[in-house]
Structure 1
């Protein structure tokens, strides 16, 4: 049995097929009247990609482009959340406007998820995971597995297609 859940971190790759995990987060939020931080993590550019961009742009232009991209992604997250809530939730499942907080961060996914969960003192982390071959699983693991291994918080993992 879960303790009282007031804050949920829902970590999403916002890829096709991730809705079942968000639906699970919404269900938990509805059951506990909890707040969801909808987190999307942008993996950082490799050093070689950064160096290539620096040969074409100055630092100020590069930073401006980066900030504009993050803002655009956050706006898309907000739109996606609104579309989901209006098209897929029944009237008795509707979320308050302040109940879902979109957040875009940059970094290594599992580290950012754990940092944000600690920062907001989350009671639950909800994530989807896609099936991988056993070889991929052995060599790479998954973000969900790495989060589960490194946290003391409850983690709800939803298998995705």
Structure 2
């Protein structure tokens, strides 16, 4: 049994089939009446890809604006996804109170950013889905588990 759970970090790849992991995070949230942060991490472009884009858009100073706009678009998608999940899958007794759920989109190396945000919000537990590919659990969940100083709950997902 987990000790008192006050903050849950749910890390999502927002791919189809990830609802069971969010359901587990929401269940914990309801059980402990805690706060939950829904996090999606966008990997940055490789330096070679960034150089290529910059060379193609060298005369256009809007590269940063385009980048920021795309992150805002992903943020909006995450918020809409969370709202849709709550509307479609939660009954009245499971609904969260105002301020109990936060949705965030960050840019960086996924496993590092997950741990960074977990530290920032002082998460009691990290919840994430795992798709069995690459390695036994997948690269990101494996690295999060190996480097985390807090409990990590992994939920098996369909590949």
What TM-score comes out, normalization by structure 1 length? 0.93
- On the 8 A contact 1:35/1:99 being kept in 2, the answer is yes
1:5 aligns with 2:2: no
Alignment partners' CA distance in 2, 1:131 and 1:148: 15
Stretches (4+) displaced over 4 A = none
Q: Is the 8 A contact 1:129 1:142 kept in 2?
A: no
Partner residue, 2:90: 89
1:56 aligns with 2:53: no
1:97 deviates by 3.3
- Structure 1 unaligned spans of 5+: none
Hey, what's the Cα distance between the residues in 2 that align with 1:53 and 1:96? 43
Does the Cα contact within 8 Å between 2:106 and 2:113 map onto a contact in 1?
yes
Residue 157 of structure 2 is aligned to residue 156 of structure 1: no
User: How many Å apart are 1:141 and its aligned residue?
Assistant: 4.7
Partner of 1:99: 100
**Match of 1:75, SS?**
helix
CA RMSD of aligned residues (A): 1.4
Change (3 A) 1:148 1:110: same
More helix per residue: 1 or 2? Answer: 1
What CA deviation, in whole Å up to 9, does each residue of 1:5-60 have, x standing for no partner? 01011000000000000000000000001111100000010112101110122473
Cross-structure match for 2:40: 40
Q: Which of 131, 143, 146 does residue 143 from structure 2 map onto?
A: 146
Check the 8 A contact 2:35/2:100 in 1, yes or no.
yes
Question: Cα distance, 1:99 vs. partner?
Answer: 1.3
* 1:28 counterpart residue number: 28
CA positional deviation for 1:142: 2.0
Q: Which consecutive unaligned segments of at least 5 residues does structure 2 have?
A: none
Question: Once the 2 structures are TM-superposed, how far is the Cα of residue 98 of structure 1 from its aligned partner?
Answer: 1.4
